[in-house]
Structure 1
Amino acid sequence: MHLILVDSSPAQRAFIASALADRAARLSTLGCADAAAGLVTTSAGNNGQGSADGITVLLVNCAQEEASGLALLRRIRANAQFATMPAILLTPAVSDGALEYLIPAALELGARYALPDDGDAEALRFVIDALRDDAARNATRADETAGGRRQLRAASFAVRSLDDAKCLAPVLAAATSRHSAAVLGISELLINSIEHGNLGISYARKKELMLQGRWREEIERRSALPENGHKRVRIRLRRTADGAYIQISDEGPGFDWRQYLEFDTRRANDPNGRGIAVARMTSFDSLDYLGGGNVVVARIKAPICSKDTKS
């Protein structure tokens, strides 16, 4: 992993470099956004689309003055090659009103996490580990899947485990017009349906499990229970002239999905709770929950003048 850290404070750069020294094979520390933008364009590698060890992660302090961190993210996202690069936002000590602007704006630009700039080394290490795990889970062989599977017009699937979800997400994403962005959002929706829907793990319980490093262990334990053995998450893919529609249904009672469509600053320090908001803003053109919340439909528009949509 190559970690690019952008922070105007030499002391903060030294602290973060020390905290993450054992997490990154390469660590670049920079004091200004212009230098970071140049480094990203020359050393971004595979931007998280290959192995976990090969990803480049951008860690940027969003200074209140001039919102330089947001400007850097916006500049990088303008280049399609870096559209899916994982980014972490460090927020300065500002008012709640400022955070209500900074954090949603960063998420809309594709930041995966927003953390307070308060010297919490454990939180930093946790999110870096989470990004590494995400990269490993979402590593795909895009060249092998994009050809034949993009011709799918309609298909149905069922998954039970996290490994099932890991295998299916790139297949579904390959049937859309933007594979790299879609696979992250699809993975998030599938995992949510498994853990929260079919296995009944609450938000608070997941937070506790993640902080303890026992989340996957609990998933496997609950999956092995007799009452959960028959449960499946069911997926329907439908492609039309205007795009791809992916419907995901679980066997749970549903949940209050409305509070998760937008990022809530009250959850800013939690290790979970931002996936739906990030998926809605970065992976899909629309995301609609039906009924009680145990059915969700994601839509990705077809590209303009796509030959594939004319057949």
Structure 2
Amino acid sequence: MKPTLLVADDNTATLQLITLQLKNMGYQIVIAENGMNAWTLLKKSPKTYDTVILDRMMPGLDGLEVLSRMKNHEILKMVPVIFQTSMDGEENILEGFQAGVDYYLTKPYKKEILQATVKAALSTYLTHKSMQEAIRRTTHALTLMKTGLFEFRDMEEAQMLATLLAAVCPKPDKTAIGLWELLLNAVEHGNLEITYKEKSRLIEDDKWLIEMKRRMALPKNASKTVSVRFERSDNEIRFLIRDQGAGFNWKSFMEYSVERAFDPHGRGIQLARTTSFDRLEYTDPGNQVLAVIHR
């Protein structure tokens, strides 16, 4: 089934441009000519849409209000939202992030940036959705586990492990999202040493997965693993994640960043900290992180 995008903008020319730039990517595109129209479509069929592109400034119901309503809806709150805006002031960007915006596009934007951002949003959402469905099929026998030590190498194993461990947590859907982001970070930025700038370029060139597989096959990475220690007590659940990389500057990724607002990635750690865990603590140089859930 084709991923379905909802695009809301009161400017007909912008709607036509976005449709033209995305039409050959295999998406089903639904158009809304204003915010109220967008909300009506979303509320009527909340399970239909995989990503929403909203104009920040629309008459009547603006993009921020549509976003607010989505975040208060049980189903729509998980759908990624891309804001397209000409308002690039720090205050406006932070307001959007705090309201729940996932990605930003600034007008005018390049076709490549639009396509890369939409692809990144869809990939993240469909991965999270797949994990949530897997959680509901996971056996509850693991609820008996108090401690466990796990090792994995690649993205597929990371997703499987995140799904498995999240299933024994009080809020498995939210835990799975953050755990997946941390495990993926340990593989790509830790063991495989893909820098932030390199990932930005790879996503824009649509070569991220290719590069991940290439580096995974290099002899120097053949034996590298990520370890996850799981511990559960009466008061909390702890995940200690350690990769074999040289570490990274984790401090700059713990909060929202205006400088990274228009990048198609870079939100995973902040998302894990604010959405999935009660406490997130990195240990310098950045190749070990402790994620804690209070019970």
TM-score bracket relative to the smaller structure:
0.7 to 0.9
Matches for 1:159-308 after TM superposition, within 5 Å: 159-302=152-295
What is the number of equivalent residue pairs in this alignment? 290
User: How far apart are 1:235 and its partner, in Å?
Assistant: 0.5
Q: 1:56 to 1:210 in 2, by over 3 A?
A: closer
User: How far apart are 1:151 and its partner, in Å?
Assistant: 4.3
CA distance in 1, matches of 2:235, 2:71: 25
Could you report, residue by residue, the CA deviation over 1:166-196 in whole angstroms, capped at 9, with x for unpaired residues? Answer: 2112112212222222222211111111111
Q: Name the Cα RMSD after superposition.
A: 2.5
Instruction: Determine if the alignment matches structure 1 residue 71 to structure 2 residue 70.
Output: no
Q: Partner of 1:80 in structure 2?
A: 74
Instruction: Determine if the alignment matches structure 1 residue 44 to structure 2 residue 43.
Output: no
User: How far apart are 1:67 and its partner, in Å?
Assistant: 9.0
Q: Secondary structure at the match of 1:216?
A: helix
Q: Which amino acid aligns with 1:273?
A: G
Instruction: Determine if the alignment matches structure 1 residue 32 to structure 2 residue 44.
Output: no
Q: 1:215 to 1:78 in 2, by over 3 A?
A: same
Q: Partner of 1:56 in structure 2?
A: 50
CA distance in 1, matches of 2:117, 2:188: 20
Match of 1:98 among 92, 101, 113: 92
Q: 1:227 to 1:24 in 2, by over 3 A?
A: closer
Q: Which amino acid aligns with 2:42?
A: V
Match of 1:144 among 114, 121, 137: 137
Q: Secondary structure at the match of 1:5?
A: strand
Instruction: Determine if the alignment matches structure 1 residue 120 to structure 2 residue 110.
Output: yes
Q: 1:225 to 1:56 in 2, by over 3 A?
A: closer
Match of 2:148 among 144, 155, 159: 155
Instruction: Determine if the alignment matches structure 1 residue 129 to structure 2 residue 119.
Output: yes
User: How far apart are 1:250 and its partner, in Å?
Assistant: 0.8
Does 242-251 or 185-194 show the bigger shift?
A: 242-251
Q: Which amino acid aligns with 1:226?
A: P
Does 184-193 or 215-224 show the bigger shift?
A: 215-224
Could you report, residue by residue, the CA deviation over 1:140-189 in whole angstroms, capped at 9, with x for unpaired residues? Answer: 32221163334433222111111211211211221222222222221111
Q: Secondary structure at the match of 1:287?
A: strand
Q: Which amino acid aligns with 2:163?
A: P
CA distance in 1, matches of 2:92, 2:136: 43
State whether residues 70 and 105 of structure 1, in contact with CA within 8 Å, keep that contact through their aligned partners in structure 2. Answer: no
Q: Secondary structure at the match of 1:60?
A: strand
Q: Partner of 1:10 in structure 2?
A: 12
Could you report, residue by residue, the CA deviation over 1:215-269 in whole angstroms, capped at 9, with x for unpaired residues? Answer: 2222222222222222110011222334432221111222111111112222223
Sequence identity, in percent?
Answer: 29
Task: Flag structure 1 segments of 5+ consecutive residues without an equivalent.
Answer: 46-53, 303-311
Q: Secondary structure at the match of 2:286?
A: coil
Does 31-40 or 192-201 show the bigger shift?
A: 31-40
State whether residues 91 and 116 of structure 1, in contact with CA within 8 Å, keep that contact through their aligned partners in structure 2. Answer: yes
Q: Secondary structure at the match of 1:80?
A: coil
Does 143-152 or 288-297 show the bigger shift?
A: 143-152
Q: 1:21 to 1:294 in 2, by over 3 A?
A: same
State whether residues 103 and 263 of structure 2, in contact with CA within 8 Å, keep that contact through their aligned partners in structure 1. Answer: no
State whether residues 62 and 70 of structure 1, in contact with CA within 8 Å, keep that contact through their aligned partners in structure 2. Answer: yes
